[in-house]
Amino acid sequence: MDAAAILKSHGQATENYLRQILARYASAPKRLIEAVEYSLMAGGKRLRPALVLECARAAGDGKSIPAAALAGAGAMELIHTFSLVHDDLPAMDNDDLRRGRPTNHKVFGDAMAILAGDAMVTMAFEALAVDGGQQAGRMVRELAAASGPEGMIGGQVLDMEGENKGLSLEELQQVHRLKTGALLRCSCRLGAVAVGASESSLAAISDYGRHIGLAFQIVDDLLDVTSTPERMGKATGKDQKKGKNTYPALLGLEGSREQAQQQLSAAVQALTSLGPAAEGLRILAEFVVHRAF
Amino acid sequence: MDAAAILKSHGQATENYLRQILARYASAPKRLIEAVEYSLMAGGKRLRPALVLECARAAGDGKSIPAAALAGAGAMELIHTFSLVHDDLPAMDNDDLRRGRPTNHKVFGDAMAILAGDAMVTMAFEALAVDGGQQAGRMVRELAAASGPEGMIGGQVLDMEGENKGLSLEELQQVHRLKTGALLRCSCRLGAVAVGASESSLAAISDYGRHIGLAFQIVDDLLDVTSTPERMGKATGKDQKKGKNTYPALLGLEGSREQAQQQLSAAVQALTSLGPAAEGLRILAEFVVHRAF
């Protein structure tokens, strides 16, 4: 079992489910669903849904993955994609390239991109409510909290307010804990909640998710410096241009890599109590960190 | 009992609840919550929450209103306000005035207005999940469906696509059924669902909501022609400027008033089986229609 195989398998399951969801909106305006589909089915690593599904496996029976977890995976990808579509808007980051293709508003216009993003949020919560089974209410609560003012959207605001303003390492960590960390941690929790995990398993999974979230952001910052638009499918070097606060700017490349490695160790450590069922999560953690090395 | 008293009482209950919700986000970025609060607490008729609460009363024991209904009322107002904030954006309707004050993006900037709108959606679903009690899952499902691609957001798209393009009366009705009708009908259904209404009560309430939705839009179109910005707290006469399809344009003022009156009669007719408990709903229906006369 390697990371590529895990991501491929969970990615395919998630995409099949997302196609089912899209098909449910048969009487919606065609152009709106096209705009949603354009960004939602544009590929990407599908890391968040893979975390949902792999955490469901690790906190469940170690083998099967229930339908409620798939709802969590789909909802998470919808929320993540919504955040990218709105983040790319001219009024926000004004990006032209995403996942190797023109951004949503470049193809569909600003108004449709706003509405397509809005639609993805409602679709995410509808997916949980319809397919989340007994855990639906709890999953809605987790996802809403992780996406909202004290989660991802709050992080976007802090990030925006921090531009061209020197942040301390602590402040930077707070931005990331919310902006990307909250949804990554929530991905892990949704998987565990979907299988009705015990409180101790949920705590372990949560801890893992928190460290993965921090590692992910450090690596993302590193890649913005060291990678190319061709490899990344989006603009690089833009953090510096915008005066954004990054780990490499604060800690240097080597210091940032060390930090990422420390978060990786802590993430793996958190999984101890889950035993061999968590093997896939260890592999995913290494993937998250080592793509930057 | 008159409409003003009903709206005032339900409006106050809703505003108290919304203040409670805002207070829950104490660790969110301050400016974000200010932006949310600016639009959410700007007054307005609070018609949708009043419909939620009055339908809960009518479909329940005719007296008390449970906490789950209040969650529905708050969630509905959050979704409604989100839709106004995004609709007012320069990329959308580009409006400067709303509820008698500068629009959200005029005060907080486009980026913050987008994020504040996004935040209100997650807050709405979180309110339902946290305070919706046993009916939370069902309420999330109803609200998501009414807001999404086959509801309000779908209606925004149809409305946008219909600008400067002649629509038939049937097409116009479809735009409104989605754009404003879906949320008004959902307001009514949320109230009934919150009290665990029987299928027959829910059907009656639903029917009422559908007719109220159509009546509301006809009246809104009429007021855009016959009222003033001072009375309305927002720009008027803008439908014609934008080549928007309206009832007065298709049916004339008199024909539109007749249509509104017909919808009012149908709404009241739908309430028959609910008996005296629905008196408040009859009064609200008349209020919706007669403010245009």
**In this model, does residue B89 exceed pLDDT 90?**
yes
Min Cα separation B242/chain A (Å): 16
- In a mutagenesis test of the A interface, which of B150, B159, B163 is the best target, namely the one with the most A β-carbons within 10 Å? B150
If phi > 0 it is left, if psi is from -120 to 50 it is alpha, else beta; for residue B218 that is alpha
Instruction: Catalogue the E-assigned strands of chain B.
Output: 97-98, 101-102
| pLDDT value for A148 | 98
User: Beta strand B97-98 with B101-102: parallel, antiparallel or unpaired?
Assistant: antiparallel
CA–CA gap between residue B241 and residue B232 (Å, rounded):
17
CA–CA gap between residue A1 and residue A277 (Å, rounded):
13
Residues in chain A: 293
Give the burial string for A13-49 (b: 16+ CB within 10 Å, else e).
bbbebbeebbeebeebbebbbebbebbbeeebebbbb
Percent of chain A's residues with pLDDT above 70 = 94
Under the banding of pLDDT at 50, 70 and 90, the label for residue A52 is very high
pLDDT digits (tens, 9 = 90+) for B215-244: 999 998 898 888 776 666 666 666 666 666
**Residue appearing with tokens 């209100």:** B120
Lowest-confidence range among A24-38, A153-167, B208-222? A153-167
Residues of B in contact with A82 (CB under 8 A): 118
| pLDDT value for B70 | 98
Q: Is B36 on the interface with A (CB under 8 A)?
A: yes
If one compares B249 and B210, the residue with the highest pLDDT of the two is B210
Residues of A in contact with B147 (CB under 8 A): 122
| pLDDT value for B28 | 97
| pLDDT value for B240 | 64
pLDDT digits (tens, 9 = 90+) for B260-292: 999 999 999 999 999 999 999 999 999 999 875
B101: helix, strand or coil: strand
**In this model, does residue B164 exceed pLDDT 80?**
no
Under the banding of pLDDT at 50, 70 and 90, the label for residue A250 is confident
- In a mutagenesis test of the A interface, which of B125, B134, B141, B156 is the best target, namely the one with the most A β-carbons within 10 Å? B125
* Interface size between A and B, measured as CB pairs under 8 A: 163
CA distance to A39, A98, B28, per residue, from A236 (Å)? 19, 11, 29
Q: Which domains does chain B have, with CATH numbers?
A: 3-290 (1.10.600.10)
Give the residue from chain A lying closest to B139, CA to CA: A129
| Mean pLDDT, rounded, of chain B | 93
Residue B99, Cβ density class (10 Å: 0-12 exposed, 13-18 middle, ≥19 buried): middle
Tell me if B149 and A110 make a contact (CB, 8 A cut-off).
no
Residue of B115, B123, B157 with shortest CB distance to A32: B157
Tell me if A149 and B112 make a contact (CB, 8 A cut-off).
no
Mean pLDDT of B135-145: 97
Under the banding of pLDDT at 50, 70 and 90, the label for residue B250 is confident
CA–CA gap between residue B251 and residue A271 (Å, rounded):
67
pLDDT digits (tens, 9 = 90+) for A157-188: 999 998 878 788 888 889 989 999 999 999 99
Structure tokens at B261: 């009156």
Give the burial string for B157-175 (b: 16+ CB within 10 Å, else e).
bbbbebeeeebeeeebbbb
Q: Residue window 54-93, chain A: list those with CB within 8 Å of chain B.
A: 82, 86, 89-92
pLDDT digits (tens, 9 = 90+) for A186-212: 999 999 999 999 999 999 999 999 999
Q: Is A36 on the interface with B (CB under 8 A)?
A: yes
pLDDT digits (tens, 9 = 90+) for B95-116: 999 988 999 999 999 999 999 9
Mean pLDDT of A250-277: 95
For chain A, report the end-to-end CA distance as a whole number of angstroms: 21
| pLDDT value for B163 | 82
pLDDT digits (tens, 9 = 90+) for B5-33: 999 999 999 999 999 999 999 999 999 99
Q: Residue window 132-151, chain B: list those with CB within 8 Å of chain A.
A: 132, 136-138, 140-141, 143-145, 147-151
Mean pLDDT of B67-79: 98
Min Cα separation A144/chain B (Å): 5
Residues of B in contact with A123 (CB under 8 A): 144, 148-149
Give the residue from chain A lying closest to B93, CA to CA: A111
pLDDT digits (tens, 9 = 90+) for A208-227: 999 999 999 999 889 988 87
Nearest-Å Rg of the Cα atoms of chain B is 18
pLDDT digits (tens, 9 = 90+) for A108-140: 999 999 999 999 999 999 999 999 999 999 999
**What ipTM was predicted for this assembly?**
0.94
